[in-house]
Amino acid sequence: MLSRRRLIGGAGAALALGLMPGGLSAAPLAKVKALGTIRVVVYQNNRPWSWEEGGKLVGLDADLAQAIATKLGVRADVAQLVADESADDDLRNGVWKGGLLGFTPGDIMLHVPFDRVFAARNDQVAIIAPYYRESFGLAGSGGMAVEAMPTEWKGRKLAVELDSIPDFYLIGSFGGVLAKDVTHYPTGSDAVAAAMAGQADAVLASRAQIEEGAHRSGGKPLALRKGPLPAFASPGWDIGMAVKENSRTLGDAVEEIVTAMGTSGEMKALFDRYGVTWTPANAAG
């Protein structure tokens, strides 16, 4: 079936109004404190942000969820959401309505794109607290001319995540000359691991995936391309969090915490533990 990123605007909103009993609404700040628990939604299998290792949920978002809960003086109930076909759908499943099969919405969801156009069409939620600037980057092993024109990479093994902007760029650009050289992996993190293990000459993935992958393997870091990729579709994006539209008291409290973590150096330290350079969101000013 077609990739379904289309519960855009009107239809989604109309559905929301009819299907949101008050009892299920995510608790604003006072309720979270009274309950002593905040339900934080993160993505399932989203290394380096949130993934399971040895039966334990780890990652940047997992740690951030714990940090926020601690500062609110409550316990974190971290729930893993299976990504649907668009982040718009994820907000519906994870924040304002819940899943069709019974996934309980969270009080807050992490790893939500902080983008004005995206926010405008998802008016059931408030998108808050931008905490990182993400972007895609190309990294290659020794002997790979990472700064060269991409067409010169013909014949080299290029690793990407299946069905991603890096995938579309490498198989579709330049008349598709690199299409045969691309190997697809289930996640960007897997693509980085392949490059670190020498199974691929270069990888096009998110910067966090590349840095954490190098840090994890302890091997020689890949060389990151400094120049922009010609005609590449994404300049990067900010990552924030989402609360239900009527949970702004909670949103404001979390935003204060996140801002303070940035200023105090705590956020940088949290990212350092995974080998990822903390880059403040553009919108964080």
Which residues contact other proteins (rule: CB under 8 A)? 1-8, 10-11, 14, 43-44, 46, 49, 82-88, 90, 99-103, 111-113, 115, 117-118, 134, 136, 162-165, 167-168, 171-172, 176, 179-184, 186, 206, 231, 233-234, 236-237, 239
Nearer to other proteins, 84 or 107 (CB): 84
Nearer to other proteins, 141 or 164 (CB): 164
If 0-12 CB within 10 Å is exposed, 13-18 middle and 19+ buried, where does residue 222 land? buried
CA dist 94 and 77 (Å) reads 14
We find the least distance from the C-beta atom of residue 73 to other proteins, in angstroms, to be 27
Question: Nearest Cα to 128, choosing from 111, 151, 140, 103?
Answer: 111
Amino acid at 8: I
We find the least distance from the C-beta atom of residue 33 to other proteins, in angstroms, to be 27
At residue 229, φ and ψ (nearest 5 deg) are -80, 130
We find the least distance from the C-beta atom of residue 6 to other proteins, in angstroms, to be 6
Nearer to other proteins, 117 or 263 (CB): 117
The Cα-based distances of 243 to 78, 129, 150, 216, 234 in angstroms read 15, 10, 41, 32, 26
We find the least distance from the C-beta atom of residue 168 to other proteins, in angstroms, to be 6
We find the least distance from the C-beta atom of residue 5 to other proteins, in angstroms, to be 4
We find the least distance from the C-beta atom of residue 270 to other proteins, in angstroms, to be 17
We find the least distance from the C-beta atom of residue 250 to other proteins, in angstroms, to be 20
Structure-token pair, residue 178 = 């690199």
Do 158 and 222 form a contact (C-beta atoms < 8 A)? no
Q: Which residues in the chain belong to E strands, given as ranges?
A: 37-43, 51-53, 56-58, 75-81, 108-114, 125-134, 136-140, 158-161, 182-185, 202-206, 223-224, 237-244
In this structure, the strands spanning 51-53 and 56-58 are antiparallel
Nearer to other proteins, 107 or 167 (CB): 167
Nearer to other proteins, 28 or 169 (CB): 169
Nearer to other proteins, 28 or 130 (CB): 130
We find the least distance from the C-beta atom of residue 208 to other proteins, in angstroms, to be 10
Torsion region of 198: left, alpha or beta (phi above 0 gives left; psi -120 to 50 gives alpha):
left
Nearer to other proteins, 188 or 262 (CB): 188
Nearer to other proteins, 166 or 251 (CB): 166
Assign 223 to helix, strand or coil: strand
**Residues contacting residue 37 through CB under 8 Å, at least 6 positions apart:** 74, 75, 76, 77
